[in-house]
Homo-oligomer: A and B are copies of this chain.
Amino acid sequence: MNIKDIAALAGVSKSTVSRVINHADNVDEKTRQQVLKVVEEYDFLPSAMARGLSSKGNNVIGLILPDVDNAFFGQVTQGINEVLLDSQYTMILCCTGNNPDYELRALQTLRQQRVKGILATTSAGFCNVKEAAKIKQAIENISVPVVLIDRAVKGTTWNGVYSDNTNGAYAATSALIEAGFREIGAFISDMPLSLGQERYSGFLQAIKDYRLEPKPELIHLYDSPASSQVIYKETCRLIEANSLPEAVFLGNNIITNGFYKAILEKGIAPGKDIHCIGFDYSEILDIIHIPFSYLERNCKLMGQTAMKLLLKSFEEPSAVREECIIPAALRLDGSLTRGPARS
């Protein structure tokens, strides 16, 4: 069933059918009804491929993510989808596992599909210069609007939606200091990325502003995206070496999970033996009612914002780069509210 068949059945030309299915207004109401009747009777849906070929562009956007099996990206995707549902667009999802080769392939796929725009959390920041350049080039080659999510990429002019990493980390660290702690530790991952650098610098800045000395032995930085396993093991090691700080800033939800798993297993009481503030809420801590303070950022909102930004850049070409910073609000648990903790 194609437009030609419908045209024949309705006794009109292909153009007229095309006009009807595209809601053109220059069609006689009677003809329109005639065509519509046939269209509905045969449940005709024009081929997106043919349409795209002849009219340029196929209303598909590409979403590139490390994985979807992570609360953060799951929620981001959910947000994107909400906006997508109100639009005419469809999404192609590509999960890269932070593997540059997979990402390059995904990018090829998106170019081949002639997507209208790209939403991406790229692994470029983790690669060596050469590979990163390849990825950037591959994105550039698609020649469509791009909105980065969560991870900025240096030396590019793409739009992006990020979190307020610096202020978030600063507020969290300040809160720990205000609560009276002096030996503040930290676990921060993704150090090659701006988000890692920013969280780290927010942390350090707070320490400095309160005239404390950072304790290098309490600060754990990771070059890759952290895994709960790694953090768990490292924390166990620290506990055994008795070198856990009094208070600690946990760089993200994955770190939080690994860290809590270790301390709970070893019988260390959070909110008493140790005080933590993490970046991102962890569902777990809600369920078990264990003291935990965290920086709340609306992940779904990040997805929505990114998608809206993309839609906007479809409408108005806009020469300026847009960056949205999603705030990270401090949610203090009872055990930490001794002092004023806003920054």
Contacts and interface: CB of A to CB of B under 8 A. Distances in A.
A77 B95 CA distance: 9
- Copies of this chain, count: 2
Contacts of A289: 261, 264-265
Interface stretch (A109-117, A215-223, A273-281, A330-338): A109-117
B265 A283 contact: no
A9 interface: no
A309 B270 CA distance: 47
Interface stretch (A39-47, A169-177, A202-210, A313-321): A39-47
A296 interface: no
Contact of A47 (B90, B112, B260, B264): B112
A75 interface: yes
A180 to B, nearest CB: 27
A179 interface: no
Interface in A127-147: 141
Contacts of A113: 48-49, 60, 90
A1 B3 CA distance: 29
A126 interface: no
A286 interface: yes
Given A49-B49, A257-B287, A94 B90 contact: yes
A131 B284 CA distance: 37
Contact of A284 (B50, B94, B288): B288
A271 interface: no
Contact of A74 (B60, B68, B286): B68
A78 B85 contact: no
Contacts of A49: 48-50, 52-53, 58, 113-114
A274 to B, nearest CB: 15
Contact of A78 (B68, B112, B265, B288): B68
Contacts of A45: 108, 111-112
Contacts of A25: none
Nearest to A262: B287
Contact of A283 (B43, B77, B141, B284): B284
Contacts of A69: 71, 74-75, 77-78
8 contacts: A49-B53, A49-B113, A60-B113, A68-B68, A77-B95, A90-B109, A92-B92, A284-B287
Given A257-B283, A264-B288, A284-B288, 14 more contacts: A46-B112, A49-B52, A50-B53, A63-B93, A67-B81, A68-B68, A69-B74, A70-B74, A78-B95, A257-B287, A260-B288, A261-B286, A261-B289, A264-B287
Interface of A: 43, 45-50, 52-53, 58, 60, 63, 67-71, 74-75, 77-78, 81, 85, 90-95, 102, 105, 108-109, 111-114, 141, 257, 260-261, 264-265, 283-284, 286-290
Q: Which 5 A-B pairs have the closest CB atoms?
A: A93-B93, A69-B78, A69-B74, A261-B287, A284-B284
